Amino acid sequence: MTRREYDEWLNEAASLAHALRYPVTPEMVNDSAGIIFGDDQYDAFENGLWSREPYEAMVIFESLNEPAVDGLPAAGAAHAEYSGLCDKLMIVHPGKFCPPHFHQRKTESYEVVLGEMEVFYSPEPVRVGDEDVLEFRPMPDGEAWPEGVALPAGREDSYSRLTSYVRLRAGDPKFVMHRKHLHAFRCPADATTPLVVREVSTYSHEPTEHAHDKAVPLPSWAGLHDNAFVAEAANTGRLATAIV
Amino acid sequence: MTRREYDEWLNEAASLAHALRYPVTPEMVNDSAGIIFGDDQYDAFENGLWSREPYEAMVIFESLNEPAVDGLPAAGAAHAEYSGLCDKLMIVHPGKFCPPHFHQRKTESYEVVLGEMEVFYSPEPVRVGDEDVLEFRPMPDGEAWPEGVALPAGREDSYSRLTSYVRLRAGDPKFVMHRKHLHAFRCPADATTPLVVREVSTYSHEPTEHAHDKAVPLPSWAGLHDNAFVAEAANTGRLATAIV
Amino acid sequence: MTRREYDEWLNEAASLAHALRYPVTPEMVNDSAGIIFGDDQYDAFENGLWSREPYEAMVIFESLNEPAVDGLPAAGAAHAEYSGLCDKLMIVHPGKFCPPHFHQRKTESYEVVLGEMEVFYSPEPVRVGDEDVLEFRPMPDGEAWPEGVALPAGREDSYSRLTSYVRLRAGDPKFVMHRKHLHAFRCPADATTPLVVREVSTYSHEPTEHAHDKAVPLPSWAGLHDNAFVAEAANTGRLATAIV
Amino acid sequence: MTRREYDEWLNEAASLAHALRYPVTPEMVNDSAGIIFGDDQYDAFENGLWSREPYEAMVIFESLNEPAVDGLPAAGAAHAEYSGLCDKLMIVHPGKFCPPHFHQRKTESYEVVLGEMEVFYSPEPVRVGDEDVLEFRPMPDGEAWPEGVALPAGREDSYSRLTSYVRLRAGDPKFVMHRKHLHAFRCPADATTPLVVREVSTYSHEPTEHAHDKAVPLPSWAGLHDNAFVAEAANTGRLATAIV
């Protein structure tokens, strides 16, 4: 991906965010905002983002990532990494995906702003070690996948455990994705606009290039990476974007 | 306040929220959404919400109040009430206030959607018992109050410790209000539209009439009220709206 | 209707217009912008604009009424009153109507911005004297009326010749209403928001109180009234609003 | 310009239009919607639309072009081509221009939807033959040009008679450009988003490739071209877009 391709992608996405009144500041439009999930996914730029081909690539503009540690009783420090506040606008072109992954710590919610969002997820949580976890309102079962969802070449297997499906539209109630649930989503391949989603979640622990020298609220947060992608290539690709 | 006055207030506010693309569902427009902070504040309806007189009254449409307890290690249960996710749209008419209060547990952030927001706060946190709390990025000092802010009659004293001021506009970076800080805000009295603010925060513990029979994720959350208003009348007024 | 009722109506409508990005300037919010079509229609305010009862009342914010006379060949002056440019935002509460009328000169187009618009019209043009008129693309036939449209009491007859119906939504192609066609429209009675419509049309000849001392581009335009309402009471009511 | 470049340009522009609620239908996104004003201006795509370099290129989505001939007295047919209704959304990237031109017949108005619009125009109308024209409210004088407006290479002379300048912003009153006045406009080169402007005008007589086989309301309208560009290359370039 060339610098020109990257900048066009980001500038158009930021313009769309402005038009939708998302509070985009200049520093939010940086070289970690456009994400390509692994070396093979850069092929998305051979035919361009409007080719409607399945690739794993998206833009995230993050307007808030607040640890919410100030004023917390010191005794709560050990689990503070499960808390905090993050607000993002995610922009996905037709046919493109946010790839299968889960967060050990982060609980999310989705609000579709423009277009429609196809969410694929596992209704069963991932077990982390022999950890004993709380349960209050488990994920709903969702529907079966519709016909004809074209998956990224070579990554099909990484979607196999995400057996539940839900399609979200602007005006729908917020949809909550609990921590520890595998999930992915895409913009329908025949959409006329990119999908634009606001995600309100707990803190995002992501040691991206852009964030890597930021101060952390607690020593244990340093270098913490809370994104576990099913495809190993997506895992490494998420943290740095190769612009030539 | 009559049923007609209440419904007109709520319906106009919900229409504004729709126009601004906030995901308002019918159940969010209920008898706890319009808030009048104490018996004396119902006088706001003598001359109406466009009189620009100082009263404490506002609308809150809550699209999300997620405990984020699912998937949390059981050992974190004790402090889970400091976490969670809440998303609200708050609509305040010209001259009207959200009155001085603090939350022991809730950290908030503001995003102005329409109009301008005048925030009044204390840069020093309230001390709760002899609790030892964490500190990472303390509240900024803010500015001095501008001239001519008309305060609600009889409630002036409740604003005295909120010595810091900041004025927020659409497109500004999110403004974080840490837990345990006294704060209030208003819509400027000479505004042409109501102030519309999106608040993304941790969980709102508010035993309103509307919420009072909802299931709680942990026994200790039952009846928890995390809003501490300076004026005692505001405290009681917040939880129920008297519509005649 | 009291001054308070009028100002609340107008201020809420102007706020909605701002939220929808219509270019509302302070002078557009005046005592001719809120229209009540005849003395009997002031009863709409007994139960208020959210009662969903059928009355003829609406708000019009006019951002442009340009004669487009400058630069016109002098030989074209005689028919210039059929030309020009007008841009309005019209706001109609649930159940309320813009009453049956036609324009001898004005051709209109509708673009729904919020809500849904029920248009009632006559597919046949009104004949004006023995005038010979051009025809290019006649009005489509439209559909039959749906069941259950509650008409304003005492005005039912004025709707009888408007046999065609069309329901317009945001994103639909512009709908053109040719000059000389009887038409009316309403906001569905069960709507959750007021109907908001942008009308782009040729010049509006309306000697309202607000406009009555404006200069005219040609002597023949002075006092010209191009709105012919079927109900005589609507005709007189349109030009002045009685605020007490 | 390749098909891919063209489609990316148009799809991003259409997405922005959707986000801003302009009523874009699929047929409005066609091969006449992206306009490059002459062979030399295709160089704009060497470094791309976000290079901020001065070129003459823009997108127009036309939601209405209504002759408004139906119902017009037959005696008015001779000057009907000065009337009618057109509604367009125009999208111009940073640094790019709509080049100097005038319309003998079309009167326009501008409403900025996103970004800021720099308008350059001549306060004196162009004289067409020995035609005697009406005058009512002449164009205002405007301001002098600001420093540092980079003009398209080789086209500088075509801007020399446009001595007046005005900068328009969202929320400003509609700005009217009378027929027969030379005008051009651009998106500021340092803008963060494309300029988006709604133009409400009288009928657009433009025999573009897309429109060339449309029926005309009067025989004299066939092939009528009402755009007179100062630069001859812009004149020919406007009507067809070369996509390879």
**Closest chain D residue to A93 measured between Cα atoms?**
D12
Say which of B7, B8, B50 has its CB closest to residue C11: B50
pLDDT given at position A212: 73
Residues A20/B21, Cβ–Cβ less than 8 Å: yes
pLDDT given at position D163: 98
pLDDT at D212 over 80: no
**Closest chain B residue to A171 measured between Cα atoms?**
B23
pLDDT at C209 over 80: no
List the chains bordering chain D where 3 or more Cβ pairs fall under 8 Å: A, C
Identify all chain B residues contacting C16, using CB atoms and an 8 Å cutoff.
Answer: 12, 15-16, 19
pLDDT at D242 over 80: yes
3-class SS letters over A140-194: CCCECCCCCCCCCCCCHHHHCCCCEEEEEECCCCCEEECCCCCEEEEECCCCCCC
Q: Which residue, D210, D122, D112, is CA-closest to D167? A: D112
Q: Can you read off the two tokens belonging to residue B85?
A: 């996710």
Query: Are D173 and C80 within 8 A, CB to CB?
Result: no
Smallest CA–CA separation between A218 and chain D, in Å?
Answer: 36
Identify all chain D residues contacting A14, using CB atoms and an 8 Å cutoff.
Answer: 192-193
Mutate to test the interface with D, among A7, A193, A196, A197 (most CBs of D within 10 A): A193
Q: What is the largest CA-CA distance in chain B?
A: 53
Smallest CA–CA separation between B14 and chain A, in Å?
Answer: 13
Query: Are B69 and A21 within 8 A, CB to CB?
Result: no
pLDDT given at position D238: 82
Identify all chain C residues contacting D176, using CB atoms and an 8 Å cutoff.
Answer: 64, 66
pLDDT tens sequence across C49-100: 999 999 999 999 999 999 999 999 999 999 999 999 999 999 999 999 999 9
Lowest mean pLDDT among A124-138, B87-101, C29-43, C199-213: C199-213
pLDDT given at position A236: 81
Residues D106/D202, Cβ–Cβ less than 8 Å: yes
The residue with tokens 């020298």 is A213
For residue A238, count CB atoms less than 10 angstroms from its CB and return exposed for 0-12, middle for 13-18, buried for 19 or more. buried
In this prediction, residue C214 has a pLDDT band, given cuts at 50, 70 and 90, of: confident
pLDDT tens sequence across C112-162: 999 999 999 999 999 999 999 999 999 999 999 999 999 999 999 999 999
How far are the Cα atoms of A80, A89, C233, D143, D206 from residue B188, in angstroms, in the given order?
37, 29, 41, 34, 49
Which residues of chain B have a Cβ shorter than 8 Å from any chain C Cβ?
4, 7-8, 11-12, 14-16, 18-20, 26, 47-50, 114, 192-194, 196
Cα separation, D205 vs C80, in Å, equals: 18
% of chain A at pLDDT higher than 90: 92
**Closest chain A residue to B135 measured between Cα atoms?**
A70
pLDDT tens sequence across B163-179: 999 999 999 999 999 99
Beta pairing partners, D110: D175, D199
pLDDT given at position C236: 81
pLDDT tens sequence across A37-58: 999 999 999 999 999 999 999 9
φ and ψ at residue D175, rounded to 5 degrees = -110, 125
Query: Are C16 and B20 within 8 A, CB to CB?
Result: no
The strand order across the sheet containing A85-92 reads A34-36, A57-66, A85-92, A195-201, A108-114, A175-177
Helix (H, G, I), strand (E, B) or coil at B215: coil
pLDDT at B205 over 90: yes
pLDDT tens sequence across A181-234: 999 999 999 999 999 999 999 999 998 777 777 889 999 999 899 999 999 999
Q: What is the CATH number of domain B3-71+81-128+136-237?
A: 2.60.120.10
Query: Are D26 and A192 within 8 A, CB to CB?
Result: yes
Beta pairing partners, D196: D91, D114
Which residues of chain A have a Cβ shorter than 8 Å from any chain D Cβ?
4, 7-8, 11-12, 14-16, 18-20, 26, 47-50, 114, 192-194, 196
Q: What is the mean pLDDT of residues A116-126?
A: 98
Q: Which residue, A139, A83, A145, A148, is CA-closest to A110? A: A139
Q: What is the largest CA-CA distance in chain A?
A: 53
Size of the A and B interface in Cβ pairs below 8 Å: 188
H/E element, B196: strand B195-201
Q: Can you read off the two tokens belonging to residue D13?
A: 């522009």
pLDDT tens sequence across B213-223: 788 999 999 98
Query: Are A114 and D19 within 8 A, CB to CB?
Result: yes
Q: Can you read off the two tokens belonging to residue D32?
A: 């006449």
Identify all chain D residues contacting C24, using CB atoms and an 8 Å cutoff.
Answer: 171
Domain boundaries, chain C: 62-230
Q: Does domain A3-68+82-128+138-237 have CATH number 2.60.120.10?
A: yes
Mutate to test the interface with C, among B193, B196, B197 (most CBs of C within 10 A): B193
Q: Which residue, C194, C217, C195, is CA-closest to C205? A: C217
Average pLDDT, chain B: 96
pLDDT given at position A138: 97
Q: What is the mean pLDDT of residues A88-103?
A: 98
**Closest chain C residue to D22 measured between Cα atoms?**
C171
Smallest CA–CA separation between A26 and chain D, in Å?
Answer: 9
pLDDT given at position D244: 87
Who's near B127: CB < 8 A, 6+ residues apart? B180
In this prediction, residue A238 has a pLDDT band, given cuts at 50, 70 and 90, of: confident
Mutate to test the interface with A, among B136, B180, B183, B202 (most CBs of A within 10 A): B136
Q: What is the mean pLDDT of residues A109-128?
A: 98
Size of the C and D interface in Cβ pairs below 8 Å: 189
Query: Are A192 and D18 within 8 A, CB to CB?
Result: yes
Cα separation, D220 vs B121, in Å, equals: 70
Q: Which residue, B244, C162, B203, B111, is CA-closest to A136? A: B203
Q: What is the mean pLDDT of residues D44-54?
A: 97
pLDDT given at position C24: 98
% of chain B at pLDDT higher than 90: 92
Say which of D132, D134, D171 has its CB closest to residue C70: D134
Q: Can you read off the two tokens belonging to residue D114?
A: 């996103």
**Closest chain A residue to B17 measured between Cα atoms?**
A171
H/E element, C17: helix C3-19
Which residues of chain D have a Cβ shorter than 8 Å from any chain A Cβ?
4, 7-8, 11-12, 14-16, 18-20, 26, 47-50, 114, 192-194, 196
Identify all chain D residues contacting A49, using CB atoms and an 8 Å cutoff.
Answer: 8
pLDDT at B207 over 90: no
pLDDT given at position A220: 93
Say which of C7, C19, C47 has its CB closest to residue B16: C19
How many beta carbons lie within 10 A of that of residue A140, not counting itself? 12
pLDDT given at position C135: 97
List the chains bordering chain C where 3 or more Cβ pairs fall under 8 Å: B, D
Residues A230/A101, Cβ–Cβ less than 8 Å: yes
How many beta carbons lie within 10 A of that of residue A97, not counting itself? 26
Instruction: Report the complex ipTM.
Output: 0.96
Identify all chain C residues contacting D24, using CB atoms and an 8 Å cutoff.
Answer: 171
Identify all chain A residues contacting B69, using CB atoms and an 8 Å cutoff.
Answer: 134, 136
Q: Can you read off the two tokens belonging to residue D203?
A: 């009928």
How many beta carbons lie within 10 A of that of residue C139, not counting itself? 20
Query: Are B70 and A174 within 8 A, CB to CB?
Result: no
pLDDT given at position C208: 79
pLDDT at B95 over 90: yes
Query: Are B68 and A173 within 8 A, CB to CB?
Result: no
Helix and strand counts by DSSP (H, E) for chain B: 3, 11
Q: What is the mean pLDDT of residues C23-38?
A: 97
Smallest CA–CA separation between C194 and chain D, in Å?
Answer: 17
Cα separation, B82 vs B105, in Å, equals: 5
Mean pLDDT comparison of B171-180, C208-217, D228-237, highest-scoring range: B171-180
Which of the following CATH numbers is that of domain D3-237: 3.60.10.10, 3.30.450.20, 2.60.120.10, 3.40.50.1100?
2.60.120.10
Residues B212/B125, Cβ–Cβ less than 8 Å: no
The CATH homologous superfamily to which domain C62-230 belongs is Jelly Rolls (2.60.120.10)
**Closest chain A residue to B216 measured between Cα atoms?**
A136
Which residues of chain C have a Cβ shorter than 8 Å from any chain B Cβ?
4, 7-8, 11-12, 14-16, 18-20, 26, 47-50, 114, 192-194, 196
Cα separation, B117 vs D163, in Å, equals: 41
pLDDT given at position B143: 97
Dihedral sign for Cα D176, D179, D181, D182, please: positive
Query: Are A107 and B66 within 8 A, CB to CB?
Result: yes
H/E element, C112: strand C108-114
pLDDT given at position D147: 97
How many beta carbons lie within 10 A of that of residue C145, not counting itself? 14
For residue C120, count CB atoms less than 10 angstroms from its CB and return exposed for 0-12, middle for 13-18, buried for 19 or more. buried
pLDDT tens sequence across B64-76: 999 999 999 999 9
Alpha helices for chain A (secondary structure H): 3-19, 44-47, 232-237
Q: What is the mean pLDDT of residues D36-50?
A: 97
Q: What is the mean pLDDT of residues D151-163?
A: 98
Identify all chain D residues contacting A20, using CB atoms and an 8 Å cutoff.
Answer: 19
In this prediction, residue A86 has a pLDDT band, given cuts at 50, 70 and 90, of: very high
Q: What is the mean pLDDT of residues D188-199?
A: 98
Smallest CA–CA separation between B146 and chain A, in Å?
Answer: 25
Q: What is the mean pLDDT of residues D7-35?
A: 97
Smallest CA–CA separation between B8 and chain C, in Å?
Answer: 6
